Each structure stands twice: as C-alpha cells, then as structure tokens.
C-alpha cells in the first residue's frame, strides 16, 4: 500500500513537472488583411485538373519573422462555433512591410480533398461565421498562434468566383 502511494506521488510529480516545463504558446497580434481567389493546375497524376484556391493574407508583427522563417506557418479556417475546421497551408516565406509588420500567406485548396467549392459556397450563403487563425509549428508543437479573425465578410465578397 505504501509503495503504491509513493508511486502515485512520483507519477503525479512527474506529470506536473512535464506540464510546467512545456513552454507556453506565444500569442500573435495578427490581422486578416486580404482574401483573394486564385487557380492551380495539377498535372500529375493525369488527368489534368484545375481547381480554385483561396489565399488569406495575414499581417503579423515583424518580431515574428525569424520564427515564421525557421519553422512552419500554417493556419485553420473554422466554421464557428463547432467546426468543421479546414487546414490552411503556408504559401512561401513571409514578406516584411514598411510599417513594422510582416505578411504571411495562407492557402486553402478547393480541390475536393478537404473541401469543395460548392461546400464552401454553401457555408458562405448560409451566413455562417468563418474565422481564420495563424499558427507557427516546429514539427512537434504549436509555438505561436493568433486569435481567431473573422473572414466572413471577405469570403462573401469572393463567393461568386469559387468554382
């Protein structure tokens, strides 16, 4: 009985130390600057397929530049409050602006693998609240993340170009 109690105390202490030693996630002061529509063509594997992409341009402090460059910037698009969630791929390196901020480009491919244009168009037409979040990941954990930014109005403005 005494051994079991000691083992429980040791395990609890180890769990508390592990949680306490894990670094906190840095909050990113980000703004959703722009939403645009693009197109991509997939050549391999055949047949050739063309699909729509949505690009989200997110503004963040320039102090985040080295972290974003060294690690992976990505994001999520969510339908509030309970989902679904869609993965946003980082598109290239961030670009520094003159005002002390950087621009990170995040993309959503409407190729039907995760979401199809008609599905997203339906969410927009239903006037669901759609939000975007920027995250920085180091292959093991999230290092930094922004708060959720409302993208509903910007997405409504491009809904007719989703195909």
- pLDDT (0 to 100) of residue 51: 79
Chunked mean pLDDT (size 10), the chain, 163 residues: 56 53 85 91 70 92 92 94 91 90 94 86 92 94 96 93 79
Full-model pTM: 0.79
**How far is Cα 56 from Cα 79, in angstroms, rounded to an integer?**
16
Could you write out the DSSP letters of every residue in 10-73?
Answer: HHHHHHHHHHHHSPPPEEE--EEEEEEEEEEEE-SSSSPEEEEEEEEEEEEEGGGHHHHHHSEE
Distance (Å, whole) CA 157 – CA 151: 10
> In the chain, where are the structural domains located?
23-161
Query: Which class is domain 23-161?
Result: mainly beta
Residue with tokens 């409050």: 81
């Amino acid at each position: 009985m005494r051994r079991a109690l000691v083992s429980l105390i040791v395990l609890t202490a180890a769990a508390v130390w592990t949680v306490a030693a894990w670094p906190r996630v840095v909050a990113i002061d980000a703004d959703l600057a722009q939403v645009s529509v693009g197109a991509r063509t997939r050549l391999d594997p055949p047949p050739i397929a063309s699909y729509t992409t949505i690009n989200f341009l997110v503004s963040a402090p320039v102090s985040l530049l080295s972290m974003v460059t060294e690690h992976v910037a990505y994001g999520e698009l969510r339908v509030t409050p309970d989902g679904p969630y869609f993965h946003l791929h980082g598109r290239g390196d961030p670009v520094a602006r003159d005002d002390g901020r950087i621009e990170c480009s995040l993309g959503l491919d409407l190729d039907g693998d995760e979401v199809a244009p008609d599905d997203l168009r339906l969410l927009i037409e239903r006037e669901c609240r759609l939000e975007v979040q920027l995250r920085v990941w180091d292959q093991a954990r999230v290092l930094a993340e922004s708060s959720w930014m409302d993208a509903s109005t910007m997405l409504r403005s491009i809904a007719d170009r989703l195909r």
